[in-house]
Amino acid sequence: MKAPLIFFFSLILFTSQAQYTVRLVVTDIATRKYDDVYVTGNFNNWNPKDENYKLKPFGGNRKSLVIKDIAPGTYAFKFTRGSLDKIETTADGRDINDRVLEVNGDISLDFTIPGWKDEYPETPKRYTASPQVRLLDTAFNMPQLNRKRRIWIYLPKGYAASSKIYPVLYMNDGQNLFNEKTSTAGEWGVDECLDSLQTKLNKECIVVGIDHGGDKRNTEYNPYDDLQNGKGEGKLYIDFLATTLKPFIDSKYRTKKGPENTYIAGSQLGGLISLYAVMQYPNVFGSAGVFSPVFYTSPFIYSDAENFVTPGMPKIYLYAGGKETTTAVSDLQRMGDILQKKPKYNIRRVISPLGQPNETYWRQEFAVFYKWMMSFE
């Protein structure tokens, strides 16, 4: 009954908070000025054509949307013309980071839209995965969620020619780890990084990449119910990793099976669920890479961290960028303070002053995380 109680108390908290009015005004649109424009964000489950979030004429060529009774907090959003292939871009067609809205009172904000994605046909993406990466399954069964999912695996260069056993790193958002062709906003370059690092360090690792669930990502990576995204499925997702996927990997590959050799990592909600995995299954996952976690979306993670107790010695790598949401650094420091108080926990906090929440910065940080995780730093 824990999840319904959490939802009940979060509902009480939500309704007891002050409610504000936000006006978003688009003052100029570079092209397609007369098309309908919508707002898609984490407040409407990223629906790109939500009629309740359609902008209306607002004098001259301006358009606006008034959002009433919104609770204080940090929200992410973008403008679209009704679908994700018609989402806003830079003036030269490049993807932009999510716009961030900080609500702590009634506000009115002006915006311009310099371009639209559908006006810049994409150059076919290259297949960049190294020979060490293979597709484990295009439709691996997830019985806990009654879904199927694409799974990738990276095997060290010397795997086939040796009898060694290897630690395993499980990573969320698998389509963005190895291959530009499958990535949605750039890739981490995990395979190229490990091809280089493992030669230098002589510390090899298997990596298993699990694709996110598309429109199910926000619920699969969130262990808590919330008013914006609905019922959290994070516990079921972690159950799948711990009780279905890991036993399969251990049965098919030469792996070191204990928590001290089983790691998990991800970014934003993928980082949050990685931390949750260690707390939910400390006997399975002994280390977590938590990149740019969006703790503000799931504040119950703090109380779970307060109550988390394990006889093991978990390692938690916490990373945030100074150019993320205004609370990203303070939220990460708060979590670090909670975990640092626990005996035997190995916690590392990294703040990148210029860091933004995207693959470019996570790619830069991955090598540092890997060396630390493997006890070289």
Q: Can you list the domains of the chain with their CATH numbers?
A: 19-119 (2.60.40.10), 133-373 (3.40.50.1820)
The arithmetic mean of pLDDT across residues 184-207, rounded, is 91
Q: Report pLDDT digits (tens) over 72-82.
A: 988 899 999 99
Q: What is the pLDDT of residue 13?
A: 44
What is the pTM for the complete model shown?
0.74
Separation CA 92–CA 305 (nearest Å):
44
Question: Mean pLDDT, to the nearest integer, of 102-131?
Answer: 88
State pLDDT tens for residues 21-56. Answer: 999 999 999 899 889 999 998 888 889 999 999 999
Q: What is the mean pLDDT of residues 343-351?
A: 94
Average pLDDT over residues 159-186: 93
**109 close to 167: Cβ distance less than 8 angstroms:** no
> Mapping DSSP to helix (H, G, I), strand (E, B) and coil, where does residue 220 land?
helix
| Dihedral sign, Cα of residue 212, residue 213, residue 217, residue 220 | negative
Cα 167 to chain centroid, rounded: 23
Which candidate, 261, 300, 296, 294, places its Cα nearest to that of 280?
300
pLDDT, tens digit, for every residue of 287-341?
A: 999 999 999 988 999 999 999 988 889 999 999 999 898 899 999 999 999 999 9
298 phi/psi in degrees, rounded to 5? -140, 70
Q: What average pLDDT does range 90-97 have in this prediction?
A: 86
What's the mean per-residue pLDDT of the chain? 90
Whether 54 contacts 38, CB under 8 Å: yes
Q: What's the pLDDT band for 108 if we cut at 50, 70, 90?
A: very high
